[in-house]
Structure 1
Amino acid sequence: MTIQVSITPNGRMSLPADIRKRLGVAGGGALLVEETPDGIILRTVAQSIAHAQAIARKYTGGNPDVSVDAFLANRKADSGE
């Protein structure tokens, strides 16, 4: 779905009520703004967490026991340090 919203001179924009309701921010809330080469993406905090978790799964093979310490140890071993 593509909609047009207006931005006021002081930089504010309004999301239509039906979109706010679907996102769960009808009564107020926070959205995270991600700038990309193609434009901007608005996500709720929950959507951002799910997106980050999907990226993490991609790099950890879905192994929940992977830690930063293990990653760094493996990288150090691979580099011969």
Structure 2
Amino acid sequence: MYLCICRAIRERDVDAAVRAGARKPSDVFRACGKSPQCGTCACDMRERIAQTVREETVREEARQPALLAAD
């Protein structure tokens, strides 16, 4: 689904940017090689960033016991 219609930025683009270190909409635009236009997407983009950060944190925490057990 598109989060930014003006710049054709999709949820998966935001997810990839977050995995690469983006933590705010301006980071996502920069990672996508685009600039913001009307700003309507900012709230939805912030929500998607937060959701993706939470999901990545859960994934990392789930991997930790396996990494510790390997030691």
Normalising by structure 1, we get a TM-score of 0.27
Which structure would you say has the larger Rg? 1
Q: Which is bigger in relative contact order (C-alpha 8 A, separation at least 6)?
A: 2
Normalising by structure 2, we get a TM-score of 0.29
Q: Which has the higher strand share?
A: 1
